[in-house]
Amino acid sequence: MTRILEIDGLTKDYPGGRRALDDVSLHVAPGELLVILGHNGSGKSTLLRCAVRLIDPTAGAVRVAGQDLARLSGTQLRDARRSVAMIFQAANLVRRRSALANVATGSLGRHHDLATAFGWLPREELLFAGTLLDRLGLLHLAHKRADTLSGGEAQRIAIARGLAQRPQVLLADEPVASLDPEAAEDVLVLLRNLATDDQLGVVCVLHQPELALRHAHRVIGLKRGRIMFDAPAVHVRSEAIAALYHSDDDG
Amino acid sequence: MSSVQAARTHLSPDQPSLPRVGLGRVLVRLTATMVGAAVVGQALVVARARPQDLITGASGMADILRRAFPPDLNNLPRALNGVLETFDIALLGTLAAIVLSLPLAVLAAENVTPSRAFYLAARGVIAVTRAVPDLIWALLFVTAVGLGPFPGVLALSVHSIGMLGRLLAENIEDIDMGPVQALTITGASPVQIVTHAILPGLLPSLIGISLYRLDENVRSSTVLGFVGAGGIGFLILTAMNLFQYRQVATLLILMYLLVMLVERLSAAIRNRIR
């Protein structure tokens, strides 16, 4: 099986000695939606943030299409990041720009020229952003300002921005944590479709086990920075999930 | 009153009374009062403040006012040209300062500065340009590039760089870092992150701060002419030196109208965009 993203022995110690990640290894194949489940503080957000080097891991490797992101810096890191898109709990859109312009900013990594440096967006990327919005059924939002969108709309626009990057891997850090159940459902259906239709490797950190079991191809359970289980969604048993959320040190 | 008396009779000599104010505190208060009086006293002496001069000077004042009336409208075109020059000095000075202070503010904002060295350097430039008043900058630039409105433009822009830079840096430090983080991961360059993630959110406060600065700069540019840096101030100085008080009156009225108009307009626009 091909592996589009391969995390190997990732360890992260925070200043003060707390070990947030302890020798975590996992991989994702194109066309696969992998969901990481875990309690608050299990290290699941740290895992994604280390993978794109928003924070630096203490040890380990993050291989995307054969390149180790953990070892790059500067321009090389910037170029390598282009193949990994990431979305967050907050949509993080630029509030005073249109949805279309927000999507098109996902393409900036491919255009390092004077016009984009002065705040312009390439015309062909605005058109590409339009086709992405059309595919996601969001074309009617194109000219709405980002700060007028609902939470679910904003999150799907953020995903479209990630796609404008033309990534091979899509990481999502609790993308539905601040959405109502219906909008959450829409976002997960979209993530799964992007995996199967576009052959992206999708890694999604979630809080809700039932959403994970319903939509994921594979589920990883994380507890105190260690992987407790890694299994196809259909084989994950409810006792395994209960053990993740059952903590024996806090009430 | 009866309760006070009751309390007093209740206090017998062997019961503890309120603790006394310590001698040290009394001395501190006494010294502070004396130092304060001395500071104000020396200021009165050094500034040679003599209220009686106000009374003896009153007739001279009345004389000037009489000689300034009615305002002389013969040189109105020249006076209006001076008004336009004053406004244009302020406009160009403000525009140049906006362009130059933006990159400076990015370097001087703790949350987005590329490095500690850039941060300290930018903060240093802001501190120096702000601390030196625009009139002093004008004096320096008149010496460097000669008389006329252009040294005025230079003086206002240099002083405004510091004023705008500090306010903009504070505004950048308050922005939502979410979009910055999101664009960092898309592989955008630092400059692109500034223009695409930081600037759009900053725009309303940038416009507000700049309009306020233009208002202040129009005020400042009216007196830049006193040191030879053009505008209506230069006309006022010349008319004063030639004792043409009716001419001065016209110029002062026009100056008042200009300052009021710009202040009102700037305030009105700032209210609209809030």
What is residue B54's predicted lDDT score, i.e. its pLDDT? 83
* pTM score of the predicted model: 0.79
Is A66 inside a domain boundary? yes
A92 vs B191: CB contact, 8 Å cut-off?
A: no
What is residue B69's predicted lDDT score, i.e. its pLDDT? 85
Contact (CB, 8 A) for B85 and B231: yes
* Digit-coded pLDDT (tens) for A102-145: 999 999 999 989 999 999 999 999 999 999 999 899 999 999 99
What is residue B15's predicted lDDT score, i.e. its pLDDT? 67
Is A185 inside a domain boundary? yes
Which token pair is A109?
Answer: 């990594």
Is A112 inside a domain boundary? no
**Does the beta carbon of A45 lie under 8 angstroms from any beta carbon of chain B?**
no
In A, minimum Cα distance to B199 occurs at A119
**Does the beta carbon of B115 lie under 8 angstroms from any beta carbon of chain A?**
no
Contacts B183 to A, Cβ<8 Å:
105, 108
**CATH code, A80:** 3.40.50.300
Task: Give the separation between CA A223 and CA A244, rounded to whole angstroms.
Answer: 6
Secondary structure (3-state) at A13: strand
Is A231 inside a domain boundary? yes
What is residue A194's predicted lDDT score, i.e. its pLDDT? 93
Establish, for the pair of chains A and B, how many residue pairs have beta carbons separated by less than 8 Å. 86
Give the count of domains, chain A.
1
Contact (CB, 8 A) for A143 and A98: yes
**Does the beta carbon of A82 lie under 8 angstroms from any beta carbon of chain B?**
yes
Between CA A175 and CA A179, with CA A178 as vertex, the angle to 5 degrees is 85
Range of the domain at A189: 5-93+169-245
What is residue B8's predicted lDDT score, i.e. its pLDDT? 52
Is A141 inside a domain boundary? no
A96 vs B200: CB contact, 8 Å cut-off?
A: yes
**Pairing of β A169-173 and β A59-64:** unpaired
**Does the beta carbon of B33 lie under 8 angstroms from any beta carbon of chain A?**
no
A82 vs B186: CB contact, 8 Å cut-off?
A: yes
Residues in chain A predicted with pLDDT less than 70, given as ranges, are 1, 247-251
Residues in chain B predicted with pLDDT less than 70, given as ranges, are 1-16, 274
Half-sphere exposure of B258 (CA within 13 A, CB side): 29
- Which contiguous run of DSSP H or E holds residue A76? helix A74-81
What is residue A237's predicted lDDT score, i.e. its pLDDT? 86
In A, minimum Cα distance to B195 occurs at A119
Spatial CA neighbour of B264 closest among B212, B195, B229, B188? B212
Is A131 inside a domain boundary? no
- Which contiguous run of DSSP H or E holds residue B71? none
Q: Which residues contact A16 (CB under 8 A, 6 or more apart)?
A: none
Candidate from A90, A95, A119 with C-beta closest to B196: A119
Contacts B192 to A, Cβ<8 Å:
108, 112, 116-117
**Does the beta carbon of B185 lie under 8 angstroms from any beta carbon of chain A?**
yes
Half-sphere exposure of A223 (CA within 13 A, CB side): 14
Neighbours of B267 (CB within 10 A): 13
ipTM of the complex: 0.85
